[in-house]
Amino acid sequence: MNMALFHPLRWSWLTTALFTLMIGVMAATLALPTSAEPPMKTYRILMVLWRGEEDAVQGFRDYFATQRIPVSIMVRDAAGDLAKLPGLLKEAKAIRPDLVVTWGTSVTLALLGPYDAADPNPYLPAAGIPGIFMIVSQPVESRIVPALASSGRNITGTAYLVPEETQLRAARSYFDFDKIGIVYNDKEDNARLSVEALRALAPTLGYTLIERPLPLDRKGNPRADLIEPLVAEIAAAGAQLLYQPPDSFLNVNRDRLTQAALARGLPTLAAGENPVRNSYALMGIINRYYTVGQLTAYKARQILVEGLNPKEIPIEAPKRFSFMINLPVALQLGRYPPMNLLKFAEIIEGDTDIRRP
Amino acid sequence: MPTQITELMLMNAASAVATPDVPTADYARWISRRIHALTLLILLVALIGFSLFAMQAFEARLAPEIGRKSATIGRILTAQIERAVGYGIPFAQLTGMDPFLSSVFQDNPEVAYLLITDATGTILYAAGPGAVEGQAALVSSGAVMPLPEEATSTRSVGAFYDTALIMKRGDNRIGALHIGVRQSFVRGQLAEIVYDVLTVLVVALLVAFEMVAVLVALRVARPLARAERLLERLRRGDFRYDGNGSKSDEVGRFTTALATVTRRVNERYWRLVQEAEEIKAGQIDPSIVARIEAVMSRLKTRFHFLALGALPINLREPSLAAVRGPLFLFVLAEELSRSFMPLYIRQLYTANPMIIPGLSEDTMIGLPMALFMLCIAVTTPFAGCWTDRWGTRRLFIVALLPGLAGAIGTALAGSVLDLLLFRSLSAISYAMATIACQGYIAQTAPAGGRARAMAIFVGSIMLAAICGTAIGGVLADRIGYRATFLIAAGLIPLAAALLLVLLDDPPVQWVKPDPDKGSQSGWRAFQALLGNPRFVALMLGSAIPAKMILTGFLFFLTPLYLRHLGYDTATSGRVMMSYFVLMILLGPLAARWADHSDRHRSFVILGGLLSGTGVLGVLYWNDLWAVLAGVTALGLGQALLTAPTLALIPEICERECQRFGQATVLSALRVIERIGSVAGPLLAAWVLGRFGYAGSAAGSGVIVITGSVLLGLGLLALGDGRRAVPGRGLP
């Protein structure tokens, strides 16, 4: 090794060069983050709702707020009117948002179209606007997507119903049953599908199913006045549990159904949140709308921020469901929730007097 | 490695048989004994004092600590119960209480019961393994009624520490939750800690002891001995020697002063010679010249002086102690893993299974251990040659490399395959280091003190085995297997450094004890010995089975067995340690006793029967105590048979000993018995896979018992070997 090279006096130019380089690098590192980072883009999201803002929309908004992702959310509401949907489709095309979020089956079908539409051109995916749907009970059966794994086109979405098997298995952690009664509106797809699922599960889970479809009146509408007699029949047949399927008609008549059951000491397991939260169903194993909204927002983020292709994002439900228990009903039935269930269940407390049938 | 140890004990015993210890009144030894005794006393007092203090401190803190822990568990429960009751669920009709309360016992094994009473003291809910007993204790002691005033209170109830937490609905006290922790459980935990502390203290004591011994030997005994030898030479009128004592201590200064005296005497002598020559030259009278010459020649024959201008011969006193410290550390490094080696191998195997057709998991665990033994067996003869060629210092330093690589590699091993390589390196290093030290001792020890020197050597290794096994188990429990291996890796360079500081190779030329021992004669000795039925019976009946049970039962099976029974490595370390303790305490005693009674055969057979029978206990009591009994019996048995086996060799192999030399015959024995060391873990593993832990342990016992019985019958049938030698009568 040539020691002369390392003589202190010969270092001067080398040291200077190194020093300059070091300071340069340090300055550059300090300067870079401020100058190189582009201002974050504000994403434009259009939400088209069916019956106004509720928890799912709130969950969606909150997700972006907590994640500090700048979004501008425009909201349009169909207010339950199918006639308004073509106008909303037109408006969406005019706005050309970065992403459209649709709420419910009707809005989704109107804006995003079925996957096997003869002419896909009128719908948003064909116009190059990606879409995400939420609160759609049966995305496959409604022909929005061919399979939950992938939509095969420029959309994705979230599921929100908890599978019947999960519901029943969870319900058994409350109390055991081997006879389930069900009253339903045969005219509704969701209800029919749910009954089919319960029938299929009966041998595996070991119960018998007492089915009572609601008879129709002359106009072809289900008869609400027969709800109480049918529940009475079910109770008399020895059912230990009444199942309220995801059925719009029964959701409207939830008080009649659940009160009739409660009056006969029959606990109700509801597929939806409403009968437990705002009526007399004992329990519901559900995905909370708020959680669904957050999951939808997460998928929106994957599309907008991470640049994923929507067809690569599977349609999923939240991983953890909520076990809701209507406490006043539980007390009235004398069905006290087991301690371990109480640990994680969502307890709906309320004024017992108002709820007393 | 204790195979090594026992072998050294054999040598020790053999030389003890050959050369009776010459008692010497030795001031240095007297001093070091006093210092040892004093150190021991001080350390013991400190030890006992600390243990008592620690126990009391633990006891005093115990109850509140248990209370706090119980209260923490309890508050989670009471909060949920209060919430449920707050919802309007009647306190007496809470549902699902059994699974709710039972979840506590899984995560908190110390909790014996959970009892819930209402405000009247009626027990509503009860759960836990101690629920019935706890309920009885609470009711009989009146602890359930009235409700305690404080929100949380802990007291001793029966065999439990009971912590009561008050539950409320609003402002009303609705009842109490009682959490019981068995006091014996707490004491057990406490004992565990105290055992660990004691282990650390005892080991610290032994290490300190060893270090004191080395220090005393080097700083006190060696200078004193040197001064004594110098004085002895001066007394005999020999003025040619000089001892280079250090200037910093009295003995050193004394030696230096003696050296000055020696130098002056030599100077005076030469001046006298000169003057005598001058006087002689000036004399005319031949009678005076003759007288001067006579005086001078008498002076020359009576005293010894240096040649003119020659430097005094430095009187060196190579000390055995110099090799003790390094050897201790080196062996300690290896023994640290004694208590958990098979567990570590199993962990590696489970993490990264290496499936070899025909080899079960147990066999794969036994394999690295068997290979370790094999590598030691193969390396030992080479290590002997290397010591002759390179000297102790160099060989020990060379051993550092494979030793360090082996220990670090073992710590970082990812699979059993890695372990096979690294354990082989460790074995090679181990054999090199121990044989290097053994060689040093053989060179250094005075002819008559060889047995004592070997005893020191064996003692050092045994002490390291005790310390390593015990503290290694504690360490593995606290910091994990891999970290313990790294500590072992750290000890190895420390040993080498200590050796470099303390040891300079003795100037004396190493004379082989058996100069005509060549591989040729070794091989012929082998053939001759295998033709000697008594020797073969001794090998097959005692030597090989004894090694088999040692490596198979103690080294391989005991750690696995105790883990299977639910004990930690600290416990297995302490159990295994008892073997070494017995060996070190009883080995020399048994050797002396056997010599005294001249019943070497009986001792060998008795030792075998004892070590085999002790192990059988596990068949009836499948617990810690049975394993401990087995290990203890093994220690006793091996202590009984080790030295007598060696003493038996000259008896039953008299002709071979005469032809080839006793050393050659003994090394043949060592080679043959190592078959047992290698086979032990493999055989134990094979039986373990078929008959379980107790079966495998008992199997090794049965082999040893069978061997001993056959040996006894064989020796009876063959008669006394001594009769076979012509021209020699019975003693």
Is a pLDDT exceeding 50 seen at residue A8? Answer: no
Residue B653 lies in a domain: yes
**Contact call for residues B44 and B206 (beta carbons, < 8 A):** no
Pairing of strands A43-49, A99-103: parallel
**CA–CA separation, A342 and B432 (whole Å):** 68
What's the confidence (pLDDT) of residue B316?
Answer: 64
What's the confidence (pLDDT) of residue B358?
Answer: 73
> Looking at the complex, does the CB of residue A343 fall below 8 Å from at least one CB of chain B?
yes
| B562 and B628 housed in the same domain | yes
What's the confidence (pLDDT) of residue A27?
Answer: 57
Token readout for B131 is: 């629920």
What's the confidence (pLDDT) of residue A36?
Answer: 43
The stretch B595-604 carries a mean pLDDT of 80
| A227 and A331 housed in the same domain | yes
Domain range for B410: 318-458+482-511
Out of B269, B294, B311, pick the residue that ends a domain: B311
Mutate one of B82, B98, B100 to test the A interface: name it (highest A CB count within 10 A). Answer: B100
* Contact across the interface for A338 and B96, Cβ inside 8 Å: yes
Higher pLDDT, B10 or A284: A284
Higher pLDDT, A296 or B358: A296
* Contact across the interface for A340 and B100, Cβ inside 8 Å: yes
The interface residues of chain B toward chain A in range 102-131, judged by CB-CB distance below 8 A, are 103
> Looking at the complex, does the CB of residue B93 fall below 8 Å from at least one CB of chain A?
yes
**Contact call for residues B392 and B436 (beta carbons, < 8 A):** yes
Q: Can you tell me the ipTM of this complex? A: 0.72
Residue A52 lies in a domain: yes
Chain A residue with the nearest C-alpha to that of B87 = A327
**CA–CA separation, B699 and B707 (whole Å):** 12
Token readout for B289 is: 């010249």
| B492 and B599 housed in the same domain | no
Q: pLDDT tens-digit profile of B200-228?
A: 777 777 777 777 777 777 777 777 777 77
Residue B379 lies in a domain: yes
CATH (domain of B670): 1.20.1250.20
- Reported as a pLDDT band with limits 50, 70 and 90, residue A18 is low
Out of B264, B286, B311, pick the residue that ends a domain: B311
Mutate one of B77, B87, B91, B98 to test the A interface: name it (highest A CB count within 10 A). Answer: B87
- Residues of chain A in contact with residue B100, where contact means CB-CB under 8 angstroms, are 338-340
Residue A25 lies in a domain: no
CA neighbor of A108 nearest in space, from A154, A49, A161, A52: A49
What's the confidence (pLDDT) of residue B317?
Answer: 62
Residue B678 lies in a domain: yes
A329, A331, A333, A338: CA torsion to nearest 10: 100
Is a pLDDT exceeding 50 seen at residue B408? Answer: yes
What does the radius of gyration of chain A's CA atoms come to, in whole angstroms? Answer: 28
Is a pLDDT exceeding 80 seen at residue B451? Answer: no
CB atoms within 10 A of CB B598: 11
The type of residue at A324 is M
Give me the number of domains chain A comprises.
2
**CA–CA separation, B99 and A339 (whole Å):** 8
| A326 and A338 housed in the same domain | yes
> Looking at the complex, does the CB of residue A346 fall below 8 Å from at least one CB of chain B?
no
Mean of per-residue pLDDT scores for chain B: 81
Is a pLDDT exceeding 80 seen at residue A342? Answer: yes
Distance (Å) from the alpha carbon of A336 to chain B's nearest alpha carbon: 6
Chain B residue with the nearest C-alpha to that of A173 = B96
CA neighbor of B467 nearest in space, from B584, B320, B641, B640: B584
Angstrom CA distances, B102 to A340, B115, B125, B288, B509, stand at 11, 12, 12, 116, 76
What's the confidence (pLDDT) of residue B519?
Answer: 55
Backbone angles phi, psi at B180, to 5 degrees: -110, 130
The stretch B574-603 carries a mean pLDDT of 82
Distance (Å) from the alpha carbon of A171 to chain B's nearest alpha carbon: 14
Residue B206 lies in a domain: yes
**Contact call for residues A40 and A70 (beta carbons, < 8 A):** yes
What's the confidence (pLDDT) of residue B598?
Answer: 73
What's the confidence (pLDDT) of residue A338?
Answer: 94
Q: Which residue among A327, A331, A338 sits closest to B95, beta carbon to beta carbon?
A: A338
Q: pLDDT tens-digit profile of B420-434?
A: 999 999 999 998 888
Residue A338 lies in a domain: yes
Is a pLDDT exceeding 70 seen at residue B150? Answer: yes
- Reported as a pLDDT band with limits 50, 70 and 90, residue B511 is very low
What's the confidence (pLDDT) of residue B26?
Answer: 60
What's the confidence (pLDDT) of residue B16?
Answer: 39
**CA–CA separation, B527 and B524 (whole Å):** 5
Pairing of strands A283-286, A322-326: antiparallel
Token readout for B69 is: 């822990």
**CA–CA separation, B623 and B170 (whole Å):** 52
> Looking at the complex, does the CB of residue A341 fall below 8 Å from at least one CB of chain B?
yes
Higher pLDDT, B696 or A21: B696
- Residues of chain B in contact with residue A336, where contact means CB-CB under 8 angstroms, are 84, 89-90, 93-95
Residue B658 lies in a domain: yes
Peptide bond into B146 cis (omega under 30): yes
What's the confidence (pLDDT) of residue A110?
Answer: 92
What's the confidence (pLDDT) of residue B146?
Answer: 73
Residue A200 lies in a domain: yes
**CA–CA separation, B419 and B193 (whole Å):** 32
Residue B633: exposure state from Cβ atoms within 10 A (0-12, 13-18, ≥19):
buried
CATH (domain of A337): 3.40.50.2300
| A170 and A183 housed in the same domain | yes
If you write DSSP's letter for every residue of A255-323 in order, what string do you get? HHHHHHHHHTT--EEESSSHHHHHSS-SEEEE--HHHHHHHHHHHHHHHHTS---GGGSPPB--SS-EE
- Residues of chain B in contact with residue A344, where contact means CB-CB under 8 angstroms, are none
What is the three-class DSSP state of A143? coil
The stretch A156-177 carries a mean pLDDT of 92
Domain range for A333: 164-286+321-355
| B182 and B51 housed in the same domain | yes
Distance (Å) from the alpha carbon of B95 to chain A's nearest alpha carbon: 5
Residue A37 lies in a domain: no
**Measured in Å, how far apart are chain B's first and last C-alpha atoms?**
37
In the numeric block, the tokens 């390094």 are attached to B326
| B299 and B322 housed in the same domain | no
What's the confidence (pLDDT) of residue A13?
Answer: 52
CB atoms within 10 A of CB B455: 21
CATH (domain of B112): 3.30.450.20
What's the confidence (pLDDT) of residue B397?
Answer: 86
- Reported as a pLDDT band with limits 50, 70 and 90, residue B245 is low
Q: Which residue among A327, A339, A343 sits closest to B94, beta carbon to beta carbon?
A: A339
- Residues of chain A in contact with residue B88, where contact means CB-CB under 8 angstroms, are 327, 331
Out of B184, B207, B234, pick the residue that ends a domain: B234
Instruction: Please report, rounded to a whole number, the percentage of residues in chain B having pLDDT higher than 90.
Output: 17
- Neighbouring C-alpha atoms within 13 Å toward the C-beta of B701: 24
Residue B31 lies in a domain: no
**Residue B553 DSSP code:** I
| A193 and A277 housed in the same domain | yes
* Contact across the interface for A342 and B84, Cβ inside 8 Å: yes
| A276 and A195 housed in the same domain | yes
Angstrom CA distances, B198 to B48, B194, B208, B479, B589, stand at 9, 6, 15, 18, 27
| B436 and B542 housed in the same domain | no
What does the radius of gyration of chain B's CA atoms come to, in whole angstroms? Answer: 34
| B637 and B623 housed in the same domain | yes
| A86 and A122 housed in the same domain | yes
What's the confidence (pLDDT) of residue A108?
Answer: 93
Token readout for B268 is: 């005076």
Give me the number of domains chain B comprises.
4
Q: List Cβ neighbours of B297 (8 Å cut-off, separation of 6 or more).
A: none
Residue B28 lies in a domain: no
- Residues of chain A in contact with residue B97, where contact means CB-CB under 8 angstroms, are 339
- Reported as a pLDDT band with limits 50, 70 and 90, residue B239 is confident
What's the confidence (pLDDT) of residue B22?
Answer: 36
The stretch A94-100 carries a mean pLDDT of 93
| B567 and B619 housed in the same domain | yes
- Residues of chain B in contact with residue A342, where contact means CB-CB under 8 angstroms, are 80, 83-84, 87
Q: Which residue among B83, B95, B100 sits closest to A336, beta carbon to beta carbon?
A: B95
The stretch B93-105 carries a mean pLDDT of 89
What's the confidence (pLDDT) of residue A145?
Answer: 93
**CA–CA separation, B568 and B475 (whole Å):** 11
What's the confidence (pLDDT) of residue B586?
Answer: 83
Residue B4 lies in a domain: no
**CA–CA separation, B673 and A305 (whole Å):** 74
Residue A35 lies in a domain: no
Mutate one of A175, A340, A346, A349 to test the B interface: name it (highest B CB count within 10 A). Answer: A340
What is the three-class DSSP state of A133? strand
CA neighbor of A247 nearest in space, from A180, A188, A324: A188
| A113 and A239 housed in the same domain | no
The type of residue at A351 is D
**CA–CA separation, A235 and A229 (whole Å):** 10
Residue A90 lies in a domain: yes
* Contact across the interface for A339 and B93, Cβ inside 8 Å: no
Residue B484: exposure state from Cβ atoms within 10 A (0-12, 13-18, ≥19):
buried
> Looking at the complex, does the CB of residue A339 fall below 8 Å from at least one CB of chain B?
yes
Q: Which residue among B80, B88, B95 sits closest to A343, beta carbon to beta carbon?
A: B80
- Reported as a pLDDT band with limits 50, 70 and 90, residue B122 is confident
The stretch B643-672 carries a mean pLDDT of 80
Chain A residue with the nearest C-alpha to that of B77 = A339
Q: Which residue among A341, A343, A347 sits closest to B87, beta carbon to beta carbon?
A: A347
The stretch B272-290 carries a mean pLDDT of 84
Distance (Å) from the alpha carbon of A209 to chain B's nearest alpha carbon: 27
- Reported as a pLDDT band with limits 50, 70 and 90, residue A23 is low
Q: pLDDT tens-digit profile of B349-368?
A: 888 777 777 778 888 889 99
- Reported as a pLDDT band with limits 50, 70 and 90, residue B312 is confident
**Contact call for residues A230 and A297 (beta carbons, < 8 A):** no
Q: CB pairs below 8 Å between A and B: how many? A: 40
Token readout for B358 is: 């025909």
| A270 and A194 housed in the same domain | yes
> Looking at the complex, does the CB of residue A5 fall below 8 Å from at least one CB of chain B?
no
| A218 and A81 housed in the same domain | no
CA neighbor of B16 nearest in space, from B650, B714, B680: B650
| A306 and A228 housed in the same domain | no
> Looking at the complex, does the CB of residue B81 fall below 8 Å from at least one CB of chain A?
yes
Distance (Å) from the alpha carbon of B149 to chain A's nearest alpha carbon: 27
| A121 and A264 housed in the same domain | no
CA neighbor of B213 nearest in space, from B72, B68, B131, B324: B324
| B406 and B502 housed in the same domain | yes
Residue A27 lies in a domain: no
What's the confidence (pLDDT) of residue A12?
Answer: 46
| A125 and A211 housed in the same domain | no
Is a pLDDT exceeding 60 seen at residue A357? Answer: no
